[in-house]
Amino acid sequence: MGSVTFADSVVKDPPAKEVSRRSLLNLLLGLSLFSGLGGTIYTIFRYLWPSAAVQEAGSPGKETIIPLSEISVGEAKTVRHLGKPHIVIRLPQAVNALNAVYTHRGCIVYWDKDQKTIPCPCHDAFFDLNGNVLKGPPPSPLRKATAKIVGDKIVVT
């Protein structure tokens, strides 16, 4: 029969596993999708649960100061105070500052200077200059902030 030679009994190392181009591209694509998804989830969480620094932005000392010349009598301006939008309305002898977050569903209300009311763009609701409900489904008036004219500035606290 046949004889076994030394060359037949030599054990060779298995060939090294080569990384194909397709495997490399699949790995890179997976890493890109994973990092993109992580960034998106992080952004969503930061939006839903902002840090204290973001909530207090624009209000060092818990005051928001607006130059009096920026708001004419009978006009209003939306400003960020304590991290939330507020409508500052200048009247002939005073200033009103109201939280612009709608008390029914959280929409942002605005000042309608022609009607002299604060309507909600999401619902059929209206508030007066003091934030009291005139019409619609809100369960409570808009929250007031303290505002006063000090020299040539409006100070909201």
Entry field: residues in the chain: 157
pLDDT in tens, 132-153: 999 988 888 999 999 999 999 9
Taking residue 102's Cβ as centre, other Cβ atoms within 10 Å add up to: 22
Does the structure show a pLDDT above 50 at 107?
yes
Looking at the structure, tell me whether residues 25 and 87 fall in a common domain: no
Q: Domain of 139: which CATH number?
A: 2.102.10.10
Looking at the structure, tell me whether residues 66 and 141 fall in a common domain: yes
Does the structure show a pLDDT above 90 at 29?
yes
- Partners of 149 in beta bridges: 154
Domain contains 126: yes
pLDDT in tens, 65-89: 999 999 999 999 999 988 889 999 9
Work out how many domains the chain is built from and give that number.
Answer: 2
Looking at the structure, tell me whether residues 77 and 98 fall in a common domain: yes
pLDDT in tens, 39-64: 999 888 887 777 765 555 544 558 88
Q: The tokens 């022609």 sit on which residue?
A: 114
Looking at the structure, tell me whether residues 122 and 75 fall in a common domain: yes
Domain contains 10: no
The domain in which residue 32 lies consists of: 18-48
